[in-house]
Amino acid sequence: MITKYRLGTPINTEAVVGELTPQPLDTFPLKLDIGGKTVIEFELQESDAVYGLGEASRGINKRGWIYESWCSDETNHTEDKKSLYGAHNFIVIGGREKFGFFVDFPGKIEWDIGYTLSGKVKITAEGADLDLYYINGESERDIVKQFRKLIGKSYIPPFWAFGYQQSCWGYAKQEDFFAVRDNYRKNNLPLDCIYMDIDYMDSFKDFTVNKKLFPDFRAFVDEMKAHNIRLIPIIDAGVKNQKGYPVYDEGHEKGYFCIDKDGGEFECGVWPGIVGLPDFLNKDVREWFGSQYKTLTDMGIDGFWNDMNEPALFYSKTGLEKANKKLDEIRSKEIDIWAFFRMKDTVLGVQNSMDDYSAFYHNIDGRKVCHKDVHNIYGAFMTKAASDFFEKEFGKEQKLIFSRASYIGAHRGSGIWFGDNFSWWSHILLNLKMLPSVNMCGFLYCGADLGGFNSNCTEDLLLRWLALGVFTPLMRNHRALGTRAQEAYQFEHIDWFSDVLAVRYRLIPYLYDTFRRCSEEYEMMFRPLAFDYPGDDMAREVEDQLMLGEECMIAPVYEQNKNRRYVYLPEDMTLVKLSGENTEKEFLKKGLHYVDVKLNEVALFIKKGKQIPLAPPALSTAELKKDELTYI
Ligand code: GLC
């Protein structure tokens, strides 16, 4: 049962689709303190676990740390971070007492989950206009299902979006894309999409294509499609402030950009230099921005990734001026070691600063609202602009769209990716841990940058990461400019990559059906073992294995120089090792096993009495023989 409580007059975040009548606040079951902020507190039993918060650092069980809901352009996903790109304000308490809790609030929220006091949760929302949802249920799964019904069905992308995808910040000219395509095909490596990062644009201007690099873009897109490869361009939130650039001119003329306190356009710097930030919280602006995608869909483009929409602010004009003044002041005196650190902090503090997030405004139904109070829905509403347009123009399930920043509600129209991770072994595990948490919050189409975005990747790291990515709906290898090349054909044992990628295509019919069912039935595709085996103390603590669908369990190897790992089986299962066309099976009893998995193998565990279909390997989803299935 879900009970809704309303405080003040909340802004409509569009997170929820169900209509519920708010109940009197004096029946609210947790300790509630309302002042300028809203504080909710409750006790935890020793055996309680806390799940949720979607895209966040640390464990599947969130207990023992302090998190913040604040969509952040955070490139360093280390354990000390309180927030990443998404704001997913839903938790489930599992243990003696089970309940779920959703705070529908677009501003900042702090979640102290047993950080200050191990037995206490303290949630502080920076405002007093919000909706609270308290969900009672018989199990964690049941609570999640009720919540998912409340927030509506999850986005289903086109079928081809389940194919393997290659990306790289730095593919610039047409020839770069042809080389990727040809190398994949030549080496018997499957591929469905190649991503176009900001390099394809003319001076990083949204909805433009650099004509020197792509003299006939339409023909280029068609030529790639003829090889069963789709091109997926990036769109950034900021619109380059440049007279004569039609998107900017129109936005400026119509007053569609966010304004500063004096009513002038808020000017901040991102990749294109100074930009206008479209006011996505305004419906007219959403319609206008959404319709801009047509420039590219008209040229045959079928998918997009929306980026920098927290929004990321490298600097603002005023922030930079202030910092420069401060630096002059420091420089005018003798530079001792403390002055040096002040200089350093002054420069670093310019980026994504709270001063800037407090210095611009939106027009929500005629009301001037400060950005910091609605920060967490900005990116979600940018992506809504795109997904609403696609649905209206092309119908459901026709276009691929996913976003970096997100808020619950955006899961109905789009997917997410987990942003700028590193080529670190620990980030394979972080990738795994985020999957059930974001699924709880409705985001089913998701994945991390496989191989790692920042720093240099190695062959073994990529193979192991792909062996997890084989199961994630979005399976994309992406890296940053200047890092070591990490396309599957760049390494010593290309045939091993071919073996692992073949497994993805063999699994697509199963993964796609499971995905669809999870969307239709409000289920999680990936679950912690604790959700399925609540009575099993060992299963409750497992943080490096996941249940997949109703049939499987996955347990990837995520450490360097390891050919085996411990796997806990909460019941008897069949270990299946897939590699290329090969399938090896071994029956294993409930309990702890030391399982060996070679670098070119993908292991999964099938529950007793269950079967999954496998297709023959294929080089693209278009060539996949969906009706030639065998069952294991
Ligand atoms: C951001 C994105 C990354 C992209 C880069 C350049 O860092 O998260 O994926 O490659 O910008 O556009």
Atom of ligand 1 nearest to the CA of 75: 7
CA-nearest residue for atom 7, ligand 1, is 420
Q: Which of 246, 174, 169, 171 is nearest to 212 (CA)?
A: 174
Residue-level pLDDT at 96: 78
Looking from the CA of residue 419, the nearest atom of ligand 1 is 8
Q: Distance (Å, rounded) from C-alpha 467 to C-alpha 428?
A: 10
**C-beta of 307 in contact with ligand 1 (< 6 A):** yes
The reply to whether ligand 1 has any atom less than 6 angstroms from the CB of 532 is no
Question: How many domains does one find in the chain?
Answer: 3
Residue nearest to atom 5 of ligand 1 (CA): 169
Q: What CATH number does the domain containing 94 carry?
A: 2.60.40.1760
Say yes or no: 423 and 546 in one domain.
no
Please indicate, yes or no, whether residues 414 and 539 belong to a single structural domain of this protein: no
Q: 196: CA distance to ligand 1 center in Å?
A: 11
Same domain, yes or no: 411 and 438: yes
Is residue 423 one of the residues assigned to a domain?
Answer: yes
Check whether residue 535 and residue 488 sit in a common domain.
Answer: no
- In this structure, the residue with its CA closest to atom 10 of ligand 1 is 169
Residues 423 and 525 in one domain: no
Q: How far apart are CA 516 and CA 512, in angstroms?
A: 6
330 within a domain of the structure (yes/no): no
Domain that includes residue 569, residue range: 512-631
Q: How far apart are CA 250 and CA 257, in angstroms?
A: 10
Mutate to test the pocket of ligand 1, among 197, 198, 404, 474 (most ligand atoms within 8 A of CB): 197
Give the domain CATH number at 597: 2.60.40.4040
CA–centroid distance, 197 to ligand 1, in Å, is: 7
Query: Count of residues for the chain?
Result: 632
**CA 307–ligand 1 middle distance (angstroms):** 7
Is any ligand 1 atom within 6 A of the Cβ of residue 195? no
Residue 83 is assigned to a structural domain of this protein: yes
Evaluate: CB of 315 within 6 angstroms of ligand 1.
no
To 5 degrees, how large is the angle CA 475–CA 484–CA 207? 60
Is 366 contained in some domain? Answer: no
CA distance 463 to 472: 15
* Domain closes at, from 446, 478, 509: 509
Q: Ligand 1, atom 3: nearest CA belongs to which residue?
A: 420
The pLDDT of residue 97 is 82
Tokens encoding 479: 């890296």
Position 95 scores a pLDDT of 82
The string of pLDDT tens digits covering residues 39-97 is 999 999 999 999 999 999 999 999 999 999 999 999 999 999 999 999 999 999 998 78
Of 151, 180, 207, the residue at which a domain comes to its end is 151
Per-position DSSP letters for 123-175, written without gaps between them: EEESSS-EEEEEEE-SSHHHHHHHHHHHH-PPP---GGGGSEEE--TT--SHH
Q: Write out the DSSP string of 392-440.
A: HHH-TTSSEEEESSEETTGGGT-EEE--S-BS-THHHHHHHHHHHHHHH
For residues 485 and 616, membership in a common domain is answered with no
Do 423 and 561 lie in a common domain? no
Within-domain flag for 550: yes
The Å distance, Cα 482 to ligand 1 centre, comes to 13
Residue 474 to residue 476: CA distance in whole angstroms: 6
Pick the closest to residue 206 from 250, 166, 167, 163 (CA basis).
Answer: 250
- The residue to mutate among 307, 351, 404, 417, having the most atoms of ligand 1 within 8 angstroms of its beta carbon, is 307
Checking phi first, is residue 263 left (phi over 0); if not, alpha (psi -120 to 50) or beta?
Answer: left
**Are residues 612 and 487 located together in one domain of the fold?**
no
d(CA 243, ligand 1 centre) in Å: 26
Does the pTM exceed 0.75? Answer: yes
The confidence score (pLDDT) of residue 141 equals: 97
416 and 564 fall within a common domain:
no
Ligand 1: which of 77, 308, 351 to mutate, most ligand atoms within 8 Å of CB? 308
**Distance between Cα 586 and ligand 1 center (Å):** 42
Q: What is the pLDDT of residue 502?
A: 98
- Residue 23 placed within a domain: yes
- For the chain, residues with pLDDT lower than 50 are none
Atom in ligand 1 nearest the alpha carbon of residue 420: 8
Could you tell me if 247 and 394 lie in one domain? Answer: yes
- Asked, for residue 320, whether it belongs to a domain, the answer is no
Which residues have a Cβ under 8 Å from the Cβ of 302 and sit 6 or more positions away? 158, 160, 230, 232, 398, 399, 400
Asked whether residue 247 falls in the same domain as residue 171, the answer is yes
The verdict on 427 and 456 lying in the same domain is yes
**pLDDT tens digits along 561-580:** 999 999 999 999 999 999 99
Q: What pLDDT, on a 0 to 100 scale, did the predictor assign at position 18?
A: 81
Residue 297 lies inside a defined structural domain of this protein? yes
Of 127, 151, 175, the residue at which a domain comes to its end is 151
For residue 169 and ligand 1, the question of a CB distance below 6 A is answered with yes
Helices 283-292 and 246-253 cross at an angle (nearest 10°) of: 170
Distance CA 133, CA 119 (A): 22
- Cβ–ligand 1 distance for 237 under 6 Å, the answer no
CA of 234 to the centre of ligand 1 (A): 9
Spatial CA neighbour of 340 closest among 348, 349, 331, 332: 331
Is there an atom of ligand 1 within 6 Å of 197 CB? yes
